[in-house]
Structure 1
């Protein structure tokens, strides 16, 4: 990568998660095990994709992070703090959340919340958020055969370690000067049809390291199937 850019890195992992849901509160615990570095296959995946879409090959992979086994234990709690009355099928709710992530890949604490408003609002905790952390917490419970909602949320994180910025734990590698606090603003729309939910999320993320010139802005499409 060019001077001032974050190190190139791939992260190949598997995870197992456990959910406890009381209807008003959801607790989620996940353990991820994997590998960072050339064995994760990030160079192959990116350059093969670039070849498919006719883009230039990425040149920074020769200086990517070295192989390192990774472990990550994450916990998150979401709370249904407020829900409006249902008027002609329309309602709104507010769901704060907080959590902690521990491991050599990421060590951080987070707090935030999500506001939703829509038609036949499902009894769940909103669409998957884009952030470091939990990958399996996408459970949803449809309220009717179809519905939709708009959502907006914020999250702040105190970051003690991020291997993708700090570099390898026990070996010399490229790194940047990580900032200790990171914030996200997210907004989007989710549509539920039967047991399928499709959501689009747009994110503005504050600078994550000192050399980063501007905040990041990016989007994501997620598809969840309930069975």
Structure 2
């Protein structure tokens, strides 16, 4: 009897170990808010919420260069206001009010040479139908924040179709630090632009084909060849961004502004914007956490201040 119990326990342990190593799915959320930095501000990109689901695909063994392949789905909302949601007059409106709501899908191709190409497509809407005002009003009413008074000036409704590509490549690595190239390009009637910069990681990190850094922790491959069974590292990601169009600032690409019969107020983009992101990431047996702070220079010519916000991501991996 004792031998049977030992054998059963061994089988269960083996099954759990296998389950723990084969994590082909992950789901979770990301929350962005400028209040996370504790500065008491409520301006510009003031709130964002995103839900993610990612599924690892089988890698064709005939393609010896591919290490991992991840299919992703997401839904998200971003909310923008001026230097405050309560303005004494329209003269203080230094950044257009706008909501952006979208759904999207992505395919992340990750290679053994630690480069990856992530292709994405999103459809969404900018304007009142995106729900920016009711969500911000609900948050302010729930937590006893100040009264909002300027959403009547928000960007009008406009449907958006946007395509994007992200490319990363390892440049060099030591035992506890590495540096890689990061880049992206956006094309669409909502957002068009590109950015490039380095990313420095310090700590216990894995290769870019199965790491928090490239949204590739979902995988059907064994963990045997990873640098670490768990990731825990700090990172710094400076970037230069070129902006050609932003519908949350300029409104519809195909309509006159302001639209007749509305109080819509648009703005003028700054074509070059610099960003700095500082953060920490952890990937354990099941849970993944990422906490970061983002500091951007002004991206609208009328803006009085630069802007910054905090971001929290929580994911759970499963089969």
TM-score category by the smaller chain?
0.7 to 0.9
TM-score (norm 1): 0.86
User: What pairs with 1:80-95 in structure 2 (closer than 5 Å)?
Assistant: 80-84=170-174, 86=175, 91-95=176-180
Deviation at 1:145, TM superposition (A): 4.7
Q: Distance in 2 between matches of 1:81 and 1:93?
A: 8
Q: Distance in 2 between matches of 1:127 and 1:51?
A: 35
Structure 1 unaligned spans of 5+: 129-136
Partner residue of 1:167 out of 221, 236, 251? 251
Partner residue of 1:57 out of 126, 142, 147? 147
Residue in 1 that maps onto 2:186: 101
Partner residue of 2:122 out of 32, 57, 60? 32
Cα pair 1:7 1:65 within 8 Å, conserved: yes
TM-score (norm 2): 0.62
- Deviation string, structure 1 residues 42-61 (Cα, Å, up to 9, x no partner): 11111011111111232221
Deviation at 1:127, TM superposition (A): 4.8
What's the RMSD between the two structures over aligned residues?
1.9
- Deviation string, structure 1 residues 32-90 (Cα, Å, up to 9, x no partner): 00111111111111101111111123222111111111111001111111111x3xxxx
Residue in 2 that maps onto 1:192: 283
Q: Select the structure with the greater relative contact order (CA < 8 A; seq sep ≥ 6).
A: 2
Partner residue of 2:101 out of 4, 12, 20? 12
Q: Distance in 2 between matches of 1:223 and 1:9?
A: 26
**Counterpart secondary structure, 2:107:** strand
Aligned length: 213
Cα pair 2:212 2:283 within 8 Å, conserved: no
**Counterpart secondary structure, 1:211:** coil
Residue in 2 that maps onto 1:140: 217
Q: Distance in 2 between matches of 1:67 and 1:138?
A: 31
Partner residue of 1:158 out of 228, 242, 250? 242
Partner residue of 1:22 out of 98, 105, 111? 111
Structure 2 unaligned spans of 5+: 1-81, 83-89, 259-264
Q: 1:168 to 1:57 in 2, by over 3 A?
A: farther
**Higher helix fraction: Structure 1 or Structure 2?**
2
Cα pair 2:94 2:304 within 8 Å, conserved: no
**Counterpart secondary structure, 1:73:** strand
Residue in 2 that maps onto 1:214: 305
- Deviation string, structure 1 residues 150-197 (Cα, Å, up to 9, x no partner): 110111111110111212321323212211101101112112221322
* Bigger radius of gyration: 2
